Amino acid sequence: MKLAVSATTKALMGFVLIGAMLFWPAGTFDYPGAWIFIGALFIPMVAMGAVMLAKSPDMLEQRLKHKEKEVTQKGIIALSGLMFPAGFILSAVDFRLGWSCVPMWVVWVATGLFLAGYAMYAEIVRENAYLSRIIEVQEG
């Protein structure tokens, strides 16, 4: 139960944080690209988390760990912690100010490619029980 609460809390916090980074700078909730992205990101994530919770709670617990010990890796994570929010915020500002116009068919193709990549990731997670965000020595 504690694992389910932890996973749900992290997913909800991510949803709120990404939603804020997309809708606040856009100045509106009427931002179709943001809704498509959020759906493409969180629906498979929640589904995958639910499957892992039911079939392999240890794997879900391992995937939720994010305490990096290596200095170099900490730097990379910190850099991505700047790049990802900047990308979300910039796309929202772009939408708000109308800097570019991406046809919806391009958005849907990109979403399909994103979901295909997520499906490949899910298959890797399914096949490799030792997959972890952190490199560590494990028994067996």
The pTM score is 0.80
For residue 84 the two structure tokens come to 């990802």
Q: What percent of the chain has pLDDT over 70?
A: 89
Write phi, then psi, for 10 (nearest 5 degrees): -65, -40
For residue 8 the two structure tokens come to 């749900």
Report the distance separating Cα 80 and Cα 18, nearest Å: 14
Q: Return the pLDDT at 52.
A: 82
Do residues 24 and 91 lie in contact, with contact meaning Cβ atoms separated by under 8 Å? no
Name the residue with higher pLDDT: 31 or 132.
Answer: 31
Do residues 36 and 111 lie in contact, with contact meaning Cβ atoms separated by under 8 Å? yes
Report the distance separating Cα 65 and Cα 111, nearest Å: 27
Q: Return the pLDDT at 108.
A: 95
The pLDDT-based confidence of 140 (bands split at 50, 70, 90) is: low
